Amino acid sequence: MSEENLPNSPDDKKNKPKKPWYREYAEALVVAAVLALIIRTFIFQAFKIPSGSMEDTLLIGDHLLVNKFIYGVQIPFIEGRFLTLREPERGDVIVFEFPEDRDKSYFKRRDFIKRVVGTPGDLIEVREKRVYVNNEPYVIEQEVHKEENLIPQTYSPRDFLAPVQVPEGSYFVMGDNRDRSFDSRFWGFVSESDIKGLAFIKYWSWDSEAFFPRFGRIGKTID
């Protein structure tokens, strides 16, 4: 066979028609979209804080990243987690799908962010706004609550909650701003399968009242 008939000769490459610019851009966009989808599904996902339930740890307008693989990779339409690095621990700030939205359509489901207070097997109790885990006071530096206007136990579990044990495969979560948090005291436990990941860093923060970035919060880890 002569050189000029080789399938990969330099002449063939020169004569090969060049892709139109719009096709090259389209292919690049498709690759970028696929990579972004893989990262968002299995590695990291961005969230924005819409309420004050986690003050002062997280403020309205904080933008954060969530580690989606630390508790194990979740593959769509397949039960269970894979390549788990560790289980959720007491004190972790987690993002999860609101349990009461489970029967709603995918587009109507909401994501919540709270702190893990009770892990499987823990006994949780609230007495006059003070949280007890396994009969020991549970206090974190970031928590916020007011002492006035305690609500009687007959009216609300916010300040008084009879002892409950966290079931296997579930977690008891609360907001750091106890007075403004709609959490496990009201609607129960978070199933492990509903947890999306661990919130670990604030990459942006915007103060809508001052109409100015909170530069001091950008890049800070979430404890």
Instruction: Assess whether 114 carries a catalytic annotation.
Output: yes
Rg (CA), the chain: 25
Q: What is the largest CA-CA distance in the chain?
A: 95
User: Is residue 53 among the annotated active site residues?
Assistant: yes
Query: In 25-168, where do the E strands start and end?
Result: 44-48, 62-67, 93-97, 111-118, 123-127, 130-133, 136-137, 161-165
Buried b (16+ CB within 10 A) or exposed e, 190-220: bebebbbbbbbebebbbeeeeeeebeebeee
The one catalytic residue in 9, 51, 108, 114 is: 114
Out of 2, 16, 19, 53, the active site residue is: 53
Amino acid at 153: Q
What is the rounded CA–CA span in Å between residue 190 and residue 29?
37
DSSP designation for 143: -
Do 67 and 197 form a contact (C-beta atoms < 8 A)? yes
15's enclosing H/E stretch is helix 10-15
Residues noted as catalytic? 53, 114
